[in-house]
Amino acid sequence: MLKLSKIAILASTMAVFALPAQAQLTVNPTGTGLGFSLGTFLTTNQTCNGCVGPTGVAVNSDGNVIVNNAATDGRNYVFSNSNGQTLGSALSSVTGANYPAAYATSNGSVWGSTGFNSGQLIKLDNAGNTVATYNVPVTLGLWTNPVNGHLIGSGSSGLVDINVSGVTPTFTVIPGTPFVDGVSVSPDGTTVYTNIVNGYNIATGAPVFGPVGIGGADGTAVIYGGALNGDILVNTNFGELWLLDDITGSPTLIASGGSRGDYVALDGQGGLFVTQSNEVLRLSLEGGTIGTAAPEPTTWAMMILGFAGIGFMAYRRRNQNAALRAV
């Protein structure tokens, strides 16, 4: 997303980024060789291939997908998480935020913002309704830290680290960071990547990666696991997908020919939703996962109980063996 008011520049955006009709993002031979493939999750009724398309996308706790279609009709749609969706196949729809931040899922809820100009954190229910608004400065990008479940977002004060585990979210501004756009977080939870195609230490704000010059860079994501673990994906306004080496920053074009790309989001199935002007695509990676959600509190509790149970059984077994040897 651009850093100026999207409402004010929508007409110029359409003119600058207008591309031929039926533009389709396609994985090139290099991307195919690395294991990437694309499928079509959602086709909208947007007719301009250079316009801002669906923005916020996230998987809710029912396993369905909330998609914000603010640029076209200002609504949040809910779809089943399978390819081949259209607006007509939506399970439901409600009025949504105007030009929201990227949506993200954490602590059992989907989160976003009130929009580009007002910039406050919102909490959505599974139907896409806004159920709460918080005075947290989030305007554009939003991503879930896979280690602690915090949201990392972009606001007028810079990058913010948001804890949504309590009744009311709390946040800290990551010091020295700029106002940016699409963000994502490294597998170890220490680095946030931005659409400037650079990385900052979440705890200190210190620059630790890039910048890498990618024209029209917007949404970012990180690969978890496999041969490409830690590498960064970039969706651009120029209909391209790039892969960046997380050590050297070396860029590799893996897909091109698309319309105006914007945000990306985790698809809940180990892949990535990639937004375009008139559709949402699903990017998959053989042998790797593109992002992963943080374990929910109930998951952590079950894991702890499981470990405790294993420890207790081992303790009983040792005592039983000791008793048998004493006989």
Q: What is the C-alpha separation between 65 and 90, in angstroms, rounded?
A: 10
User: Residues near 69 by Cβ (< 8 Å), separated by ≥ 6?
Assistant: 44, 54, 75, 76, 77, 87, 96
Task: Check residue 35 and give its pLDDT.
Answer: 97
Give the chain's domain count.
2
Task: Check residue 298 and give its pLDDT.
Answer: 43
User: Residues near 324 by Cβ (< 8 Å), separated by ≥ 6?
Assistant: none
Residues of the chain falling short of pLDDT 50? 1-20, 294-318, 320-327
Whether 1 is covered by a domain: the verdict is: no
Whether 188 is covered by a domain: the verdict is: yes
Cβ(237)–Cβ(219) below 8 Å = no
- For residues 324 and 277, membership in a common domain is answered with no
Task: Check residue 193 and give its pLDDT.
Answer: 97
| Beta strand segments in 227-276, E | 232-236, 241-244, 251-256, 264-266, 272-275
Distances (CA, A) of 216 to 55, 88, 196: 16, 31, 9
Share of the chain residues as helix, strand and coil, in percent rounded to the nearest 5:
15, 35, 50
Q: pTM for this structure?
A: 0.83
Interval 246-280: pLDDT, tens: 999 999 999 999 999 999 999 999 999 999 999 99
> In the sheet where 104-106 sits, what is the strand order?
104-106, 109-113, 121-124, 130-134
Whether 80 is covered by a domain: the verdict is: yes
- For residues 238 and 301, membership in a common domain is answered with no
- For residues 160 and 188, membership in a common domain is answered with yes
In DSSP notation, 4-68 reads S-HHHHHHHHHHHH---TT---EE-HHHHHTTEEEEEEEE-S---TTS-----EEE-TTS-EEEE
* Listed residue (146, 209, 144, 147) closest to 183, CA to CA: 144
Task: Check residue 22 and give its pLDDT.
Answer: 60
Q: Is 267 exposed, middle or buried (0-12, 13-18, 19+ CB in 10 A)?
A: buried
- For residues 242 and 305, membership in a common domain is answered with no
Cβ(216)–Cβ(38) below 8 Å = no
User: Is the previous residue joined to 211 through a cis bond, with omega within 30 degrees of 0?
Assistant: yes
> In the sheet where 272-275 sits, what is the strand order?
85-86, 36-43, 279-285, 272-275, 264-266
Q: Which domain holds residue 157?
A: 6-292
Q: What is the C-alpha separation between 70 and 275, in angstroms, rounded?
A: 13
- For the domain that residue 63 is a member of, what is the CATH number? 2.120.10.30
- For residues 231 and 319, membership in a common domain is answered with no
Task: Check residue 106 and give its pLDDT.
Answer: 97
Whether 207 is covered by a domain: the verdict is: yes
